[in-house]
Structures are given as C-alpha cells and as structure tokens.
Amino acid sequence: MSRLNKSEVKWVNNITTGILFTVMIAMILVVISAKASGGEPEVFGYQLNTVLSGSMEPGIQTGSLIVVETIEDKTNFKKGDTITFQKDENMLVTHRIIEVIKNKNGVSYRTKGDNNDAPDLNLVPSQNVVAEYTGFTLPYVGFFINFSQSKNGFLLFLIPGILFLCYSVITIKRALSELEAKESNKGEA
C-alpha cells in the first residue's frame, strides 16, 4: 500500500475543503431562502422537523429529527397516516389521523399522538396540513438542532463557523497562489 505524496495530500485537502465549503454555502442559502419566505427549510419537497414532546413515543422519540414531505393535495389522507400540521402561528405538530371527517365545509382530520390518552381537542382543517411524515427519524439529533437555534447555541456555533470559513478562504487562496506559482514557473522554463 503506497502512501500519498505531498502534492496528492494537498489535492485531496483542497477538494475536501471545496466540497465542504460548497455544502455550507448551499445550506446557508436554503435556510436564508426558507426564512425569507416565512416557511421551514425545505429541500426537494422535504423538511426536517424537531420533535419537542413525547406525544408520538415510542415510534418517534422526544428530541428526534424527523423528515416530512410537503404535500400539495391535503384532502386525500386516510386513517392511520401521520401528518404535520400548523396548530397555531408558531407551532407545528406531528400526530396520527384517527378519523377523516368530510362535510360541506371540506375535509378535516381528528388527530391523536400515539402516546396520548385522548384525541387532540380541535379538528385539523385540511388547509392546516403542512406535510406527511415519511417514517425517517434520527433519534436525539433534534436536541442538538434545537440547541443550535437558541441564542447560546448560535453563539457557541458561530465562532467555530467563522473559524471554519476563514480556514476555507485561506486554504483556497493558498491553493490558488500555488497554482499561479506553478504556472509562472512553467512560463519561465
């Protein structure tokens, strides 16, 4: 097994830094565009939501990060589907549909958290449905995300983020200056 020489290590380092920098910029753009439009960050029709209560345990643990898919037709859900809906202006809830109610006013859903003893007090009008739960959950990751969105978390992650950004810029400048030096050396030879 051969070891990488110095130029190969630099090349791998530069490629890795470029990929990480591109991913970071893409994530920043997604979050900024979502916040500017007043919605949740969305990528290819999917959102990541943090679960802050135990109402859906044991299937969805408190502190989990779940993936939900935004849905255009919000009137075709059936009993047993798990939906994310707007409970009030600043609160999304993910619960299971236990009854579909169709009447002259449209479609509404009676929902219940799997771990709750009783159904939710209010019916969910179909226009309040935001997305459908895909079944993909990352346990405990939501705690980290929720903390990072707090003031203390923001400050804690801001400093390493700025340092990483500065490191990326320095590395890219260094790589460009090395390329320029190589080009000028070729021109002199």
Closest to 93 in 3D by CA, of 117, 119, 58, 72: 119
Distance, CA of 132 to CA of 67 (rounded, Å): 9
The reply to whether 53 belongs to the active site is yes
- Which residue among 2, 53, 148, 184 is the active-site one? 53
Length of the chain as a residue count: 189
For 122, half-sphere exposure in the C-beta direction (CA atoms, 13 angstrom radius) is 9
Q: Work out whether strand 106-112 and strand 124-125 pair parallel, antiparallel, or are unpaired.
A: antiparallel
Give the CA-trace dihedral at 15, 18, 20, 24, to 10 degrees. -170
Which residues belong to the active site? 53
